[in-house]
Structure 1
Amino acid sequence: MGTGTVESGMASDFFAQFIAGEADAASLLPARPLDPLAWDEAAARAARRRTMQGVVPELQRQAAALPPSSTRDQAIAALDLPGATCVVTGQQVGVFLGPLYTLHKAATAVARARWLAERTGRPCIPVFWLQTEDHDWNEVARFDGCVRGSWIRGRLGESSSETRVSLAHRRLPPEVEIHLASVSRALSPLPHGAEVSALLARHYVAGRSPVAAFAGVIAELFSEEGLVLLDPRTPAMAALAAPVLRFALEEDDAIGALLEERCVALARRGFHEQVHTREALLAFFHPAAPEGPRFRPDRDGDGFRTPLGRASRAELRARLADDPLSFSTSALLRPLVQDTLLPTAAYLGGPAECTYFAQLPPVYARAGLELPMIAPRARFRVVDPWTAAVLDRLGLSPEDTDQPLHALAARLHAWPAWMDGRLRERLLGPLDRQLGAVLPEAAALDPALDRAVEKTRAHVARGVDRFIARLQRAALVGSGIGTGPLEALGQVTTALRPAGRPQERVHGFWGIAAEVGSPALIDSLVAAAAPLSPEVRTVQP
Structure 2
Amino acid sequence: MNTFLLDYDQIEQRGFPKLFGTYVGENPERTSFTSSFFQHDFQKEADYYKLLGTLSAGKYNRQAIRQILERQNRNFGVNQRHLQQLDTLESPRTFFVVTGQQPGLFSGPLYTVYKALSAVMVAEQQNALFQDHHFIPLFWIESDDHDFEESAKTSLLRGTAVEEIVLDPWQRLPQQMVSRTPMGKGILDCLAQLEELLPDSEFKNEVTAKLQEFYTPEATLESGFAKTMAWLLSDFPILFLTPGDPAFKQLATETFSKELASAPRSSLEVITQSSLLEQYGFSAQAKPRAVNLFYVTSQGQRQKIEQSGDEWFELSPGRQRYSRHQLMEMCQDHPERFSPNVVLRPIVQDSVLPVFAYIGGPGEISYLAQYKRVYEQFGVTMPFIMPRASFTLVEPGLRRTMDKVMQKAGRPGFSRRQMYTTTFRDLEMLKKNAVDGSSEEQYDSLFDASKADVRSRLQELEPVLAKLDQTLVQSLQGTMRQVEKSLETLQAKTQRANRRKHDDVIGQVERISAELFPGGSPQERSVNICHYLARYGTGLLGELAGVMQAHATGSHMVVEL
Look up the SS of the partner of 1:371 in the other structure.
coil
Matched, 1:81 2:65: no
Q: 1:116 to 1:315 in 2, by over 3 A?
A: same
Deviation at 1:265, TM superposition (A): 3.0
Give 1:315 deviation, angstroms: 2.1
Q: Report whether the alignment pairs 1:359 with 2:366.
A: no
Structure 1 match to 2:20:
15
**Equivalent residue in structure 2 for 1:414, among 438, 441, 445:** 438
| Residues 1:49 and 1:179: Cα distance change in structure 2 (over 3 Å) | same
Q: Which has the larger radius of gyration?
A: 2
Partner of 1:23, secondary structure, is helix
- CA change 1:24–1:209 in 2 (3 A) is same
Counterpart position of 1:444: none
Deviation at 1:403, TM superposition (A): 4.6
The residue that corresponds to 1:33 in the other structure is 42
Once residues 267 and 150 of structure 1 are traced to their aligned partners in structure 2, the CA distance between those partners, rounded to angstroms, is: 38
**Partner in structure 2 of residue 474 of structure 1:** 500
**TM-score normalised by length of structure 1:** 0.81
Q: 2: distance between equivalents of 1:537 and 1:496?
A: 12
State whether structure 2 residue 516 is matched by structure 1 residue 496: yes
Cα 1:68–1:350 change in 2 (3 A) is closer
Task: For residues 359-388 of structure 1, give each alpha carbon's deviation from its aligned partner in whole angstroms, at most 9, with x where no partner exists.
Answer: 222222222211111111111112234444
Q: Is the 8 A contact 1:93 1:131 kept in 2?
A: yes
Superposition TM-score, scaled by structure 2 size:
0.78
Alignment CA distance shift 1:402-1:254 (3 Å): closer
Q: Residue 192 of structure 1 is aligned with which of 203, 206, 229?
A: 203
Structure 1: segments with no counterpart, 5+ residues: 1-7, 424-466, 478-482
Matched residue SS, 2:187: helix
Segment of structure 1 superposing worse, 486-495 or 349-358? 486-495
Name the CA distance, whole Å, in 2 between partners of 1:404 and 1:126.
37
Moved more, 309-318 or 408-417: 408-417
Note the C-alpha offset of 1:245.
0.7
Aligned to 1:426: none
Letter matched to residue 114 of structure 2: H
Provide closer, same or farther for how the CA distance between residues 10 and 143 of structure 1 changes in structure 2, counting only shifts above 3 A.
closer
Which aligned pairs between 1:48-447 and structure 2 lie closer than 5 A?
A: 48-49=57-58, 51-52=60-61, 53-121=63-131, 122-158=133-169, 161-278=172-289, 280-286=290-296, 288-289=297-298, 291-306=300-315, 307-308=317-318, 309-392=320-403, 397=416, 399=420, 400-409=422-431, 410-411=433-434, 414-415=438-439, 416-418=441-443
2:540 paired residue number: 521
**Contact between 2:405 and 2:434, CA under 8 Å: does it hold in 1?**
no
Measured at CA, do residues 34 and 524 of structure 1 come closer, stay the same or move farther in structure 2, by a change above 3 Å?
Answer: farther
Q: Distance in 1 between matches of 2:198 and 2:331?
A: 47
Letter of the 1:411 partner, please give it.
A
1:220-249 deviations in Å (ceiling 9; x for gaps): 111121111000001111111111111111
SS at match of 1:297: strand
Deviations 1:191-231 (A, max 9, x none): 42222222222212223110000001110111121111000
Counterpart amino acid of residue 292 in structure 1: Q
How far apart are the structure 1 equivalents of 2:341 and 2:495?
Answer: 45
Q: Distance in 1 between matches of 2:21 and 2:78?
A: 40
Q: CA-to-partner distance for each residue in 1:424-462, whole Å, 9 max, x for gaps?
A: xxxxxxxxxxxxxxxxxxxxxxxxxxxxxxxxxxxxxxx
Alignment RMSD, CA only?
A: 3.0
1:461 aligned partner: none
Following superposition, the deviation at residue 40 of structure 1 comes to 4.7
Kindly provide the amino acid, as one letter, of the partner of residue 493 in structure 1.
S
Instruction: Report the Cα distance in structure 1 between the residues aligned to 2:298 and 2:250, rounded to whole angstroms.
Output: 16
Q: Distance in 2 between matches of 1:140 and 1:469?
A: 44
SS at match of 1:162: coil
CA distance in 1, matches of 2:444, 2:205: 45
1:237-274 deviation digits (Å, cap 9, x = unpaired): 11111111111111224334433432333344444332
Unaligned runs of 5+ in 2: 1-12, 408-415, 449-492
Change (3 A) 1:533 1:154: same
Q: Which amino acid aligns with 1:296?
A: I
CA distance in structure 2 between the aligned counterparts of 1:314 and 1:404, rounded to whole angstroms: 57
Corresponding letter in the other structure for 2:283 = H
Task: Give the C-alpha shift of residue 60 in structure 1.
Answer: 0.6
Q: Is the 8 A contact 1:249 1:317 kept in 2?
A: yes
Q: CA deviation at 1:389?
A: 4.7
Shift of 1:83: 0.3
Which residue identity does 1:414 align to in structure 2?
A: S
- Report SS of the residue matched to 1:304: strand
- Find the aligned partners of 1:181 and 1:50 in 2 and give their Cα distance: 49
Aligned residues: 481
> Relative to structure 2, which stretch is displaced further, 521-530 or 156-165?
156-165
Task: Decide whether the 8 Å contact of 2:199 with 2:535 is kept in 1.
Answer: no
Alpha-carbon distance change, 505 to 175 in structure 1, aligned in 2, over 3 angstroms: same
Tell me how far 1:350 sits from its aligned partner.
1.2
User: What's the CA shift string for 1:455-478, capped at 9, x where partnerless?
Assistant: xxxxxxxxxxxx99985663037x
- Structure 2 CA distance, aligned partners of 1:469 and 1:348? 47
Name the CA shift for 1:37/1:225 in 2 (closer, same or farther; >3 Å).
farther
Q: Secondary structure at the match of 2:54?
A: helix
Whether contact under 8 Å (1:175, 1:206) holds in the other structure is: yes
> Which residue is equivalent to 2:453?
none
Name the SS of the counterpart of 1:359 in structure 2: coil
Pick closer, same or farther for the CA change 1:393–1:75 going to 2, 3 Å. Answer: farther
- Choose 264-273 or 337-346, whichever is displaced more: 264-273
CA–CA distance in structure 1, aligned partners of residues 159 and 541 of structure 2:
20
CA 271–149 in structure 1, closer or farther in 2 if over 3 Å, else same:
closer
Question: Contact 2:285–2:366 (CA<8 Å) still a contact in 1?
Answer: yes
Cα distance 1:128–1:86, how it changes in 2: closer, same or farther (>3 A)? same
* Counterpart-to-counterpart distance in 1, 2:427 and 2:159: 18
Question: For 1:112 and 1:281, how far apart are their aligned partners in 2?
Answer: 34
Cα distance in structure 2, aligned partners of 1:196 and 1:320:
43
| CA distance in structure 1 between the aligned counterparts of 2:423 and 2:279, rounded to whole angstroms | 38
